[in-house]
Structures are given as C-alpha cells and as structure tokens.
Chains A and B, each alone.
Chain A
Amino acid sequence: MSDSSSVGGTNIEGESPQLEPTIETDEATITDDAELERTLGLSGGLAIGIGTMIGAGIFVFPGLAAGRAGPAAAGSFAIGALVALLVALPASELATAMPKSGGGYYYISRGLGALAGTVVGLSLWFGLVFATAFYLVGFGYYAVDTLAELGVAVGDGLVIPLALLFGAGFTVLNVTGTENAAKLQNGIVALLLSILAVFLGYGGLDAVGLLGDPSTPEQFAPFGTMPVLTTAALVFTSYLGFAQVATVAGEMKDPGRNLPLAMVGSVLIVGVLYVATIFVATSAFGGDRLAELGETAMVEVGRHYLGAAGAVAIVFGGLLATMSSANASVLSTSRAIYAVSKDALLPRRASRINLRYGTPHVALGMAGGPILALVATGRVEVLAEVASFLHLVMYGLICVALLALRRDEPEWYDPDFRAPGYPVVPILGALASFALIGFMQRTSQLVGIAIMVATAGWYAYYARDVTLKGALQ
C-alpha cells in the first residue's frame, strides 16, 4: 500500500491518502493484489436512486408544498426536476470517468482540490444525515397514521418517539445485519411503483373528469410565483437520490452505461411521478385543506379517490417508501465517510470494519448518532432544506469540477459518457443549484453555511497538507 502518486501529503495524525493505481473493467476494479467485484446492475442502481427519492416527494411533501403554492406546486416539482437533470448529466459524465465510492466528493476533490473536497465530503456526510433524519420523521408520521388506520389513535405526539425508535433500531440493524437487503430494496421499489401507477392512473382519470364527478379546479397559482420558487427549494430534497447512485459507483457493473442511465433515469421517473402526484392531490383537495393534512395528506387523497383501500395502500406505501429512503441514505452515508477517511481528511479509524459483522460500525455510528439528534428536533422543513442546501452546494461544485476538468482534459480523464450541451448545461446547472439555495428559509441557510464553515475549519486544522487534485487511483 504505497503511495504511487506525487500528490498526497499527510494530515495532523501523519496519515496520508491511500492512493493506488487501479484498472477498471466493466465487472471489477483490479488493484495490485486484489479485485473488487462490481455487483450492482442497472435495476439495483435505479432502485437506489428511486428508492431514496420517492419517499419524500410523494409521501411527505405534497401537503406541505400544495399549502404553500397551491396547484402550482406541480411547477415547483418540475423546476426541481429540471435542476436535478442539469446536474445529473455532468455528474454522470464525472461518474463514468471516476467510477469510485464517494460520488460527488470524489469528483470535486480530484477536480478542484482538497479544500473543496473536504467541504463537500463532510457536507455530503451531514447532508445525508439531515436527509435521513427528514425521512425518519416522515416515517414517524406514517407510523402514527398506520396505527390510526388500525384503529389505534395515538396522536401526533408519538411521531418523534416512533421515528427515534426506528432510527436507533435501524442503525443497530445496519451494524449487525449481514443479510443482503439489496434484493429487498428492488422489490420494495417495484411494489411502490405499482401502487403509484394504479393510484395515479385512477386519480388522474378522475381528476380530468373521465371518472367520477368532475372536480372544480382551483386557481393554479393562488399565491403568485414567489412561493413556487421557495417551494421548489423546499421540495428539492425529493431529488437528492441520484447523487446517492454515484456514491456506490465503485460497485456498479458496466459503469459507463449503467451510471448515466440510473442517474438520469431515476430523476426523470420520479420527476414525472411527482408532478402527477401533485396534480392528482390538488384536484382532490384545495391547497389549504392539503396543508392542514400535513405530512400524510396523501392518505386522505387516497381515501378520496379509492376509499378505505386507497388510504391503506398509501399508508402502507408511505411506510415502505420512507423506510427505503432512510435505508438507502444510511448506506450512502457510510460510503461518503469512507471515501473521505481513505483520503486522510478524517481519521482512518472512521472507516474501520468490525470483525464480527464485517460492517463499518464507526461510520454507521457517525451517521446514526447525529441522525437521532436531528430527528429529535422534529423540524421537517428545516431538515429537508438543510439537506438540500448541502447537496446543492455539492451539485453546483460538481458542475464547476466538470468545467475545470473539461478545460484542462488531464490525460487520465476519459469518461465513457459525455454530457450533452457542454458548456451550457454545467453552467446552468451550477447557477441553478446556487440560485435555489437563495429561496430557502433563513434558518436553513444559516445552518447550512455554519456547517460549511465548520468543515472548512476542519480542513485548516486537520488536513491542511493533504493534496488531492488530480490524484487518480
């Protein structure tokens, strides 16, 4: 395990980035002494992307978003999809050039250097932690609603305790569980898509007046255009999943083909579903009513169209979706921490694997602990926005990294997929990502900035001498 590159340097503990030459094939990564099997196919990649995203956008946000923007919330989701797409294309190019664990962190540290890398790598960790906390609170709401459907009315007071309980259990399961849940995740996503296809198909036909009584359409944008933009900033959390696909890039088969398809494909699929969901939801109830119903508004929408069966299906779907979002995010978090610690930006022991279960218990603990603390705050909107904030910074920088790499075209830079529309797409992607941050609540912006400043401070204290730019392994 010797350094093979001139770049490197050491952190404050004397650890240096572990850089080794590798050969990437479609089926494995080959290092000097070992091979790393690529085991995720396209469906696995799509399941991670869609599974991460769908929980938030369909099962948590419709009520909140419609309350803010009325039926025009569909436009907010469409704006989110557009921004996500503008970033997914450059991110796909970088992912095929560097199909490694760590995703966005990896491209930015190699394209823009160690400072930007540390800020993004640690922000990605915190961003995922905020996102997971958000999914868990959503889960808590659905757990309470499930009990209500079963005839046990416990009230919203139990949302946070249930979310905490599940979050803790979930962290323990991730440390001790050696069963491969990947197939389960694929099944859950397939099941969710089926439920949604039936629900949106029926609801859509009903809403346009082909079935049932025609609904009276509300004014499209009752609050004007500004809420549409702020709502877009809020609901952008629904589009964070495509970057999670990149964190498992090192394990994707045929990455040159599967990574772009999984990233761009999952954004397109969930984008269409989100817009359709808002359309169906706002056709059932007015924005005010949806806002009153809050996080689990979709349950009532299900009841409106399909009666008790519809409500049960949505409650069940919501439980599954929020769980799968949380699961996929925790997996990404441990990979994000590993990628940073491998590069000596965090202590090496952060990526230790325990002998008993073969799981990265330190990294999982570094994910689980803060997640529980954040769940306890119960601030759904702030959690979602900070998660988006930290991801959007990374997205913007991914676009910048693409511009930097394309300008120099270093010798090692040989992506299988080249983003169309260069340089317009990455420039727009960067601008849109940074602009969306401007439409968030002040609290979220301050928390996000504080975290970034803290990560930059960490770099200055801990890893000042580490250099990573262009260090390909």
Chain B
Amino acid sequence: MTRVLVPLAILEGESVSTGLPTLLATMDVTVLGYHVLPEQTPPDQARLQYEDRATDALVDLEAAFEAAGGSADHHLVFTHDREQTIDRIADETAADAYAITGTTGPVDRLLVTLTGDVAVDRITAFVTELVGDREIDVTLFLAADDESSGRESLASAATTLSESGIEVETELVVDVPPSEALVDTAAGHDAIVMGERAPSLRSFLFGEEAERVATESVGPVLVVRALEDS
C-alpha cells in the first residue's frame, strides 16, 4: 500500500477539509499531530497537559479518514523542531508522500507536475494508486528547458496513466519560471501532486516555492517523496 503522511499543528486547530479524506480514500494515511514548543518548555511537560485533548482530536481525524474508506493511524509528537519531526515520522512510517492540507470539496481534477527531482515513474505510480478506479481527471504538467524532450516525457507519462483508465490532458511550458506557470495552471484544479525537491522534503516544504504553490493554489498539495532506500 502507499502511505501518505498528513502533518497537522493539532493543538492550533489545524484540521482537514472534507475533500481530503475522500481524495486519500485509496491510501494508507498517517495523521501526524505535532505541537511545537518554545525552548523554555520541556516537551514532556506539554504532553502531560495537552495529550488527552490532542489525542481526542487525532482519533476524530482518524475516524474521518476511515469513514471515507481509507485506513488511517496517528502519531502525536511534542517537539521543538517541526521539520525534524516530520522528516523522522515520514522515515519511520515509510511514507511515500506528504499532504500539505488545503481547502477542497470533492476532487474531480488533479494537477500533476512532473517538474522536479523525483523520478517520473514514481509520480505516475503514485497517481495511479491515488486515483484508482475513480472518476478523477488528471492534467500532467511539465516545465522543460527543451521542448521536444519535454513533450516526449509528458507523452510517455500520459500513456502510462491512460493505460490505467485515467483521463489525461498534458500541459507543457517552455522557458517560463516553473512555479509561476504551475500556479497559473492550478486554477480549475482541486488538488496538486508534485515531487519533492532535492535535497530533502524540508527545502520543498519550507522553501519559497512550496509556500507560493500551497498558498496560491488553496487546495491540498501532495508531495511525493524521493526514494531514499538503496
């Protein structure tokens, strides 16, 4: 099974909109409730005070993911360092992707960008699994330096998806800043799938580009992690 990690600042009221559990119904979901503490506060001290409240919220979320048809578990982590915690839990649960939650209703159209450092076949495999036998149309997006090779990789990825019965459109942009073009294309789509940027998720999640894409596109962003083993 493919596993998606959903990190949430659980005690700050971060939650997921109704569309996300439905979108991830084909996946194993790990909800990561984290709470970041200032350094004056020992994590254990916060745990004693907030553990019950946070666990209640996480159990509810887990139930929401399961009600949508997926399978879910949760981790609750008290930390001084959000990025370190997300990286560690992702490694431990062998998650294939992260979700940056956004607001969405039912997802009908998915924007999948092949721009980046994660192998194209890993992204297409993830999307195939995610869509399953549902009626979700996919737009494949690529920002390339070279038009002909870009067209080629888009076409071969589109073929892979079509073979699994997914409706695919392609969009190629050449010599345009990739993230801006991506955000422009995102209009009309309900969620985005992208590959994580080298060297780590961290630079993606917290880099400028990620923030732009996530904030400007409103909907959830699923970030496929680069394979680390072997």
Contacts and interface: CB of A to CB of B under 8 A. Distances in A.
Contact of B55 (A18, A33, A178, A250): A33
Interface string A397-426: 000000000000000000000000000000
Interface residues of A, number: 39
12 contacts: A33-B76, A34-B54, A36-B78, A37-B84, A39-B84, A178-B38, A182-B39, A251-B42, A334-B40, A334-B41, A334-B42, A359-B38
Contacts of A360: 40-41, 45
B149 to A, nearest CB: 42
A177 B41 CA distance: 11
Interface string A219-263: 000000000000000000000000000001011000000000000
Interface stretch (A24-32, A158-166, A288-296, A384-392): A24-32
Interface of A: 1, 18, 27-29, 31, 33-37, 39-40, 101, 174-175, 177-182, 248, 250-251, 330-331, 334-335, 338, 342, 351-353, 357-360, 364
Given A28-B88, A358-B37, A182 B80 contact: yes
A1 B50 CA distance: 12
Contacts of A331: 39-40
Contacts of B88: 27-28, 37
Given A37-B78, A37-B81, A353 B43 contact: no
Interface of B: 37-51, 54-55, 75-81, 84-85, 88
Given A34-B51, A37-B77, A358 B46 contact: yes
Given A177-B38, A181-B39, A353-B41, A28 B48 contact: no
Contacts of A251: 42-43, 80
A101 B38 contact: no
Contact of A358 (B38, B51, B75, B76): B38
A182 B41 CA distance: 12
B40 A35 contact: no
A33 B56 CA distance: 11
B213 to A, nearest CB: 26
Contacts of B42: 101, 248, 250-251, 334-335, 338
A34 B47 contact: yes
A338 to B, nearest CB: 5
Residue of A35, A39, A353 with highest tally of chain B CB at under 10 A: A35
Given A353-B49, A358-B46, A39 B80 contact: yes
A35 B78 contact: yes
Contact of B77 (A34, A178, A352): A34
Contacts of B54: 34
B44 A36 contact: yes
A351 B44 CA distance: 11
A250 B39 contact: no
Contacts of A34: 47, 51, 54-55, 76-78
Nearest to B37: A358
Contact of A1 (B39, B45, B48, B77): B48
A351 B40 contact: no
Nearest to A253: B84
B206 to A, nearest CB: 15
Contacts of A179: 38
A180 B80 contact: yes
A358 B41 contact: yes
Given A33-B51, A37-B43, A248-B42, 9 more contacts: A28-B88, A34-B51, A34-B78, A36-B78, A37-B84, A180-B38, A181-B39, A342-B45, A358-B37
Contacts of B85: 37
